[in-house]
Amino acid sequence: MTLLSITSIDVHYGDFQAIYSLDLHVDEGETLAVIGANGAGKSTLLKTIAGLLRPTSGDIVFDGLNISATPPYRRVPLGIALTPEGRKIFPSLTVEENLKVGAHVKRPGPWTLAAIYDAFPLVADRRHRLGVNLSGGEQQATAIARALMSNPRLLLLDEVSLGLAPVVVEQIYDTLPAITGQGTTVLIVEQDVNLAMKFADRVQCLLEGKSVLEGVPADLTRDQIATAYFGI
Amino acid sequence: MQWLNAVIQGILLGGLYALLAAGLSLMFGVMRIVNLAHGVLAIVAAYIGFVFVNNLGVPWYLAIIIVIPIMAVVGYALQWGLFNRALTKGGLAPLLVAFGLAVVLTQLLQEIFTADNRRIDTGTLATDSIQVTDTIYLGLLPVMTFVVAVLVIAGLQLFLNHTPLGRAMRAASDDPDTVKLMGIDNRQVYALSTALALATVGLAGLFIGMKTQFSPTYGDLVLIFAFEAVIIGGLGSLWGTLAGGMVLGIAQAVGAQINPSYGLLIGNLVFLAILAFRPQGLFPKAVTT
Ligand SMILES: Nc1ncnc2c1ncn2[C@@H]1O[C@H](COP(=O)(O)OP(=O)(O)OP(=O)(O)O)[C@@H](O)[C@H]1O
Ligand SMILES: [Mg+2]
């Protein structure tokens, strides 16, 4: 079943067009990775799905409901959660308070504080620390945990690996199976193509705001991806 | 003994200033709105209380129970009607809107109530006192005001620290966009913050109206005291605001003890000294973001 279906959306920042007539879909339970170079429009796409940006044309349909004009805070109760680029942990709140704010919309589901602390030992260790005092990896883990607290059906992850040491990236990616294992659909944006190919069921590549390649990792060749990624 | 007495009276007065300042501090803390209409809104509450007590014969304690929710509703409506729009324009817009609101409300009060001095009639409450020693008497109203102020500030702090809405207010203060991603409408959080701020300033306004003569322009003085208390205490901390109110109250009372006309002057000098030598205030917020 298709959980999210996007048809020919255009997204603008003022006069600047960041996304051109983009089509994308995510099936229930699958993990889709969106890859692309800097400025390709990946974060713009996620912000549009979460509702922080509105498409200037085209439709976003989530679970059969057209949400193109739905404000972001009404998309969370529907089951959409975004871990934004830059993590955006609330700095003056403790880790635990960040998680509780994430649970402001109480959708029923497997993710409770206890379940989070079980699955993310790093977060559990730091629960009483203020957001402002977290390392990059701790922030990223907290941001993912915070998004999970709303028990989303669709989890949007933006650049989980950015600026983190490889060991930490591995630690964080190791929690992905625990998330998808609950049946959560994941749309992940990743610059590291190898990571994306390893963890995703399907990848889609953006180039300058357009979708240029889409397929199952096993079916795609290195050359195809390089061409789509760099546009050469 | 006179000096001790002055300090004690100053502390009690400081409670009122802190109660006045708490809402100003809250609105700035959550939305970065400098509400220049804060003082006149206190006086609006005093006039509403005046109508209920002096004109309609409602006892003062009932008037308090009536006026607080009225002010909360006014705050909620003001936020949706004016400030939420102004915030989307950014920059100076909220400040200018607040300034405009202050001017309009002051004029409106002049129009309805004239410039005459008024006072909320509380019978003997304003003159009753408790004798502590041979020379120290505590006014019942100042003591009551002080106790209520401390309770309100403690309650606000507990509310901000330990309730979902309080957490949402602090989160919205940190990052209004990210709060939306948590399923929270930041404009609604703002409206409830302003409702809370006006409920507390309304209460302070009633105490002022019971304690002294007021007129439509009295809000200017009230605004200055509230600002001074917030700045002395340090932005973003309600306990700091309470301390700031007390420092201001003590300075004014001790100043008045030196010479009755020095009260306000000394208060302002202490404020300026703090601004010059400790601009972050006495108890600044631990986290700066
Ligand atoms: N707030 C903004 N205002 C104007 N233009 C923007 C804004 N945010 C992004 N853009 C532009 O939109 C385009 C797409 O940006 P976006 O952030 O979506 O790229 P990205 O694929 O996420 O890149 P990165 O990998 O660097 O995060 C870029 O050209 C960028 O300069
Ligand atoms: Mg990005």
HEC string of chain B equals CHHHHHHHHHHHHHHHHHHHHHHHHHHHHHHCCCCCCHHHHHHHHHHHHHHHHHHCCCCHHHHHHHHHHHHHHHHHHHHHHHHHHHHHHCCCHHHHHHHHHHHHHHHHHHHHHCCCCECCCCCCCCCCEEECCCCCEEEHHHHHHHHHHHHHHHHHHHHHHHCHHHHHHHHHHHCHHHHHCCCCCHHHHHHHHHHHHHHHHHHHHHHHHHHCCECCCHHHHHHHHHHHHHHHHCCCCHHHHHHHHHHHHHHHHHHHHHCHHHHHHHHHHHHHHHHHHCCCCCCCCCCCC
Q: pLDDT grade, residue A223 (50/70/90)?
A: confident
Model confidence pLDDT, tens digit, residues A21-61: 999 999 999 999 999 999 999 999 999 999 999 999 999 99
Inter-chain residue contact A72 with B180, CB threshold 8 Å? yes
CATH 3.40.50.300 for domain A2-230, yes or no, is yes
Mapping DSSP onto H, E and C, the string for A27-60 reads ECCCEEEEEECCCCCHHHHHHHHHCCCCCCEEEE
**pLDDT > 50? residue B76:** yes
User: What count of other Cβ atoms lies within 10 Å of the Cβ of residue A206?
Assistant: 26
Tell me the backbone φ, ψ of residue A182, rounded to 5 degrees.
Answer: -85, 0
What's the pLDDT at B24?
95
What's the pLDDT at A17?
97
Tell me the backbone φ, ψ of residue A187, rounded to 5 degrees.
Answer: -115, 115
Is the complex ipTM higher than 0.85?
yes
What's the pLDDT at B289?
39
Inter-chain residue contact A146 with B182, CB threshold 8 Å? yes
Inter-chain CB pairs, A–B, below 8 Å: 74
Q: Chain A residues contacting B, CB < 8 Å?
A: 50-52, 71-74, 76-77, 81-82, 84, 88, 90-93, 97-98, 100-102, 104-105, 130-132, 146-147, 150
CB B54 within 8 A of CB B121: yes
Instruction: Output b/e per residue, A141-169; b: 16+ Cβ within 10 A.
Output: bbbbbbbbbbbbbbbbbbbbbbebeeebb
Q: pLDDT grade, residue B42 (50/70/90)?
A: very high
Model confidence pLDDT, tens digit, residues B46-70: 999 999 999 999 999 999 999 999 9
Q: pLDDT grade, residue A231 (50/70/90)?
A: confident
Atom number in ligand 1 closest to CA A46: 18
Model confidence pLDDT, tens digit, residues B129-179: 888 888 888 999 999 999 999 999 999 999 999 999 999 999 999 999 999
What's the pLDDT at B284?
79
Q: Which of B175, B180, B185 sits opposite A90 (nearest CB)?
A: B175
CB A19 within 8 A of CB A11: yes
Locate A50 and state its tokens.
């979460």
Strand partners, B138: B130
Rounded to the nearest integer, the mean pLDDT of chain B is 94
CB B56 within 8 A of CB B229: no
- Average confidence (pLDDT) over B202-212: 96
Rounded to the nearest integer, the mean pLDDT of chain A is 94
Q: Which of B23, B25, B39, B75 is nearest to B208 (CA)?
A: B39
DSSP reduced 3-state for A206: strand
Q: pLDDT grade, residue A229 (50/70/90)?
A: confident
Nearest-CA residue for ligand 1 atom 14 is A41
Inter-chain residue contact A72 with B167, CB threshold 8 Å? no
The rounded Å distance from CA A34 to ligand 2 centre is: 11
- Mean pLDDT is highest, among A178-192, B94-108, B229-243, for B94-108
- Average confidence (pLDDT) over A98-112: 95
Model confidence pLDDT, tens digit, residues B230-259: 999 988 789 999 999 999 999 999 999 999
Model confidence pLDDT, tens digit, residues A191-218: 888 888 989 999 999 999 999 999 998 8
**pLDDT > 50? residue B200:** yes
A228: exposed, middle or buried (Cβ count in 10 Å: 0-12, 13-18, 19+): buried
The rounded Å distance from CA B49 to ligand 2 centre is: 55
**pLDDT > 60? residue B288:** no
To the nearest whole Å, the CA of B286 is away from the closest chain A CA by: 9
Strand partners, A12: A17
The residues spanned by each domain of chain A are 2-230
What's the pLDDT at A225?
86
**pLDDT > 70? residue A145:** yes
**Cα dist. B38→B19, B25, B68, B134 in Å?**
12, 10, 15, 39
Residue B67 C-alpha from the chain's centroid: 15
Protein residues with CB under 6 Å of any ligand 1 atom: A 13, 16, 18, 36, 38-44, 85, 191
Q: pLDDT grade, residue B286 (50/70/90)?
A: low
Inter-chain residue contact A92 with B289, CB threshold 8 Å? yes
User: What count of other Cβ atoms lies within 10 Å of the Cβ of residue B145?
Assistant: 23
Tell me the backbone φ, ψ of residue B281, rounded to 5 degrees.
Answer: 90, 175
Number of alpha carbons in the 13 Å side-chain half-sphere of residue B182? 32
Q: Which domains does chain B have, with CATH numbers?
A: 2-277 (1.10.3470)
- Average confidence (pLDDT) over B190-210: 97
